[in-house]
Amino acid sequence: MSELDTVRSRDGTAIAFARLGEGPPLILVDGALCHRGMGPSTPLAALLAQGFTVFTYDRRGRSDSGDTAPYDVAREIEDLQALIEEAGARGDAPRRRRHQAGAVRTAVHR
């Protein structure tokens, strides 16, 4: 298991994430009902960590991440941007793998 860390989104909300492995950064975005402890990202991260630095995170309002009212999908895009900046600090542009509602978040981010 990887160590838990946080980044701050634009509105100051703490977004919890874990980093696992070594290599180019890859951010896994879970679906609406998932978080790092429940969903496909954590087992997938273990497999992908052989060739990537894999970031899994708790989307806003889930598990170890904070939440700031009112909800707006734009806040989730800002959360992802904060994580992309964290991943990019290592020198490579991160790749993203999306799942269910996570696909909408990353598609809007482009």
Whichever domain contains 105, its CATH number is: 3.40.50.1820
d(CA 67, CA 70) in angstroms, rounded, equals 9
Average pLDDT, the chain: 84
DSSP H/E element including 95: strand 95-98
* Model-wide pTM > 0.85: no
Yes or no: say if 4 and 16 are a contact pair by the CB < 8 Å rule.
yes
Split at pLDDT 50, 70, 90, the class of 89 is: low
How many domains does the chain contain in total?
Answer: 1
Here the tokens at position 44 are: 């997938």
What residue numbers bound the domain in which 10 lies?
4-109
Query: In 71-87, which positions are buried (b, 16+ CB within 10 angstroms) versus exposed (e)?
Result: eeeebbbbbbebbbebb
Among residues 10, 15, 6, 5, which one has the least CA distance to residue 67? 15
Here the tokens at position 14 are: 């703490």
* pLDDT for 90: 58
CA dist 70 → 38, 41, 55, 109 (Å): 25, 27, 26, 20
